[in-house]
Amino acid sequence: MNQPQVPLYRLAHGRTGDKGNRSNISVIAYRPEFFPVLLEQVTEERVAAIFRHRAPAAIHRYVLPGLGALNFVLDDVLDGGVNDSLNLDTHGKNLVFLLLGLEVSVPSEWEALLAGIK
């Protein structure tokens, strides 16, 4: 069966934090039934592909079942961090939105449950 592809931000929200040259990005399901999709499809491999330009030294995914959330920790992706990066966004505050652009497949009957913006 062909399942529709939708951007992750319709299923989940999150935020970026930084410490030194390390970024952490949470991905939190809007509804409990969405969480298995995150577990299956938002993998370390796919996140590594999204952030390939920043050549992460390591990516680790932590699972928080009680929160319906994932926490990704990406090492050495901030061009040195807040004191060293040449980026305008030295903290990488926006990086969660790169991740939330990931396409995931969902059951077609979920359309009405997904968050607003297409």
Partner 1 sequence: MADDILAIGCAAGFAGDRIDAAGPVVDTLIARGAPGVLIFEMLAERTLALAQLARRQNPEGGFAPLMEPALRPILKRCVEHGIRIVSNFGSANPRAAANRIHQIAREQAIPKVRVAVVEGDDLSDARGREILHAYLDPAYASRELVSANVYLGAGAIAEALQGGAQVVVTGRVADPSLVVGPATAHFGWSETDWDRLGRATMAGHLLECGAQVTGGYFADPGLKDVPDLATVGYPIAEITADGAFVIAKAEPTGGVVDSRTVKEQLLYEVHDPAAYLTPDVVADISQAEVHEIGRDRVAVSGVRGHPRPDTLKTTVCFSGGWLGEGEISYAGPNAEARARLAADIVRQRVGDALLLRFDLIGVLSVFGDDRNRMLSDVAPGDARDVRLRVAAADPDRAKVERVLGEVMALFTCGPAGGGGVRTAVTPRLGSTSCYVPRELIHPTFTMME
Site residues for partner 1 per CB under 8 A = 9, 13-15, 17-20, 22, 24, 26, 28, 30, 53-54, 62, 64, 66-67, 69, 71, 73, 79, 81-89, 94-95, 98, 115-117
Would you say 52 or 109 has its CB closer to partner 1? 52
Shortest separation between residue 18's beta carbon and partner 1, angstroms: 7
Per the CB < 8 A criterion, the answer to whether 8 and 27 are in contact is yes
Q: Which two tokens stand for residue 108?
A: 């077609």
Shortest separation between residue 96's beta carbon and partner 1, angstroms: 9
Dihedral sign of CA atoms 105, 109, 115, 118 in order: positive
